[in-house]
Chain A
Amino acid sequence: MFWIQAFVKIALIVGVLVNMAAILLWVERKQSAMMQDRIGPNRAAIEVGGVRIRAAGLVHSIADGIKMIWKEDWEPVGGDRLLYRLAPIIALVPPLCLFAVIPFAPTLHVDHLRDLYDPAWAADPNDHSIPMRITTLDVGLLYIFAVAGAGVIGAALAGWSSNNKFSLLGGLRAASQMVSYEVAMGLSLVGSFMIYQSVQPADMITWQMQHCWGIFVQPLAFVLFATAAIAETKRVPFDVPEGESEVVAGYFTEYAGLKFGMFASGELVEVCTSSALLTVVFLGGWQFPFVQNSGFEFHYLGLDISWHWAHFIVVLVGLLSFVLKVAGLIFLQLQIRWTLPRFRYDQIMMLGWRILLPAALLNVLLTGMGILFYNGLSTTGGGTP
């Protein structure tokens, strides 16, 4: 039963993510078109019985997929064949794997779909429940840093195995940029770990449900993490690994067809993953404002509203809320990608090492001081956190 569940969830998530790449391709094109006073893609069509279905340009993603499949699968002469073929896989798989530990809805208790939530369910050994995440690891979010680090290898290998100077330069740029920002990214979350007292995503969400969203207690960390996450995706404004006038297309200069498609969709999956991470750590995960396990609860400003929902509705609202938050963050990321001009390479390095890293350390320091101060308050009889 456990394995079946796991497989179903893996298939579901990987399926959604891979399709999200195609959809995001359309979103990106359409969104950038709207921002730039254009129409965007709208010509590709599927003809069914004389009716041309254009689906507002969505068909272009299908056309792209077909094109990539049928393109000549050219390989550079003199490159390292094995590594050359391995690189796109290494670039695509880690972003997909990241989702393994991310909870996207509250745990579903199958036996109590229509009941009001009771904390005793979780303690009941005979209870049938489906945790809405692929797996729970003891290392929690540390797993994400470990796996995300593997993505560097894909870019570096691609640059190395293409037997092309531009590819090599692009690969080096990508590798150094990703490594640099991984440091700042990791450190920026330390403050959150300190506050949540856990590295488990589920615990983080619980803390945020009980107190407030992470963004309010860790605003600096949110900005730092978001910046570093965008840099990790290697998209504008941090897209120095590719540059027509300097290094052509960077480490995927020599890639064509589906191999190139894997790099491109890897980027878009990374956008999804980083948005999901931001949601979990800073935006309360699947928690909808004022919705607790039992339903809608509003006990502020002198009001005292309780609106209890059946358990499955709460889970559904949680799922929807998670999807909405991720979608919003993706929108924001795309908006940033089409708004900001790109950095120079030295500026990226400076931003990573001389601004983000000290700021992350400062954030740790401030958080620690804050916690000490707050704990001091609470031991002397202060309010609630």
Chain B
Amino acid sequence: MKVYINGLGSVSCQEGTRNFKSSDLTRVSQGINQAQQPSYKELIPAGMLRRMAKGVKMGIYASHSALEEANIAVPDAVITGTGLGCLIDSEKFLSTMLENNESYLTPTSFIQSTHNTVGGQIALKLQCMGYNFTYVNQNTSFESALLDGLLQVQAGELNNALIGGVDEIGDITMRFLQLTKKINTVDEIFPKGVNYGEGATFIVLDNKQTTQSYAELVDTAICNRVESVEDFIQSFLSSQYIVPEQIDVLVLGSNQTANDGAFYAQAQAICSSSALETFKEFSGEYHTASAFGLLNACEMLKYQQLFSTGESKPIEYILVYNQFDGKDHSLTLLKKCGD
């Protein structure tokens, strides 16, 4: 069974939830970049909003937006990915515990530190009793969720699935990552340093194509370590009987750092005729940032326009490739919906 992407929603470093044009967007230019927070009060009662983790809020907002667009009230499944979960609450519980010698602790931040909090809270809000999984595999957390949903809709086990990636910035963890020179600081850009972001990106998978449909999700694959990017891409495409020349647009999760260049250069070499697009200069890097790249790819297919230049051109296939630090590689193949 074919699988379509029928709704999108995001909270990111950019204003707005979708319909991104690169000319309207702000480049993330510093080490740590907070997401633009939309107004949540229409969606979440004020009393709950106060205690709710940032990741949960962003997740509820982005998932609502995606479901609304796909015209689905309650999805058959909620499948999320997150690198570190509700990190702010984890840090809060940990530092309170250590500072007060295990005293004066309250359960709220512990509960929210559980990795599946976002998925659980979305299910609770929607009263969705269906399948509910959370993946936490660093930079392939989102693609793991995507693969799970894809397989179930393909197999006819689900009619639709809400898939999302969520990560939030925690000050203490960011500070630690700056100590190891993995995230740039205000004063310094490190050779392997990235500009960090946060956000939530949700999509709705469905077995029916509608006028809303953005793209057909053909396949997605993940691999912890690859010896050759070329082999990884070739075998992925050939399993779908596609050759690299058919890829009209190659979307890369590049941070333009010293250590990721070689991997992305290999991908570019294989898909040498494809138009090249990047997105992390707008989303920042985080464990589920690649979902933002997928959202861009969906919009390019639907509107048949390149994200970077706005240029109109026929786009049939888009390949999204992401990895981080030479690990956790992912490929996602999208196709233009049939007429």
Are A and B bound to each other? no
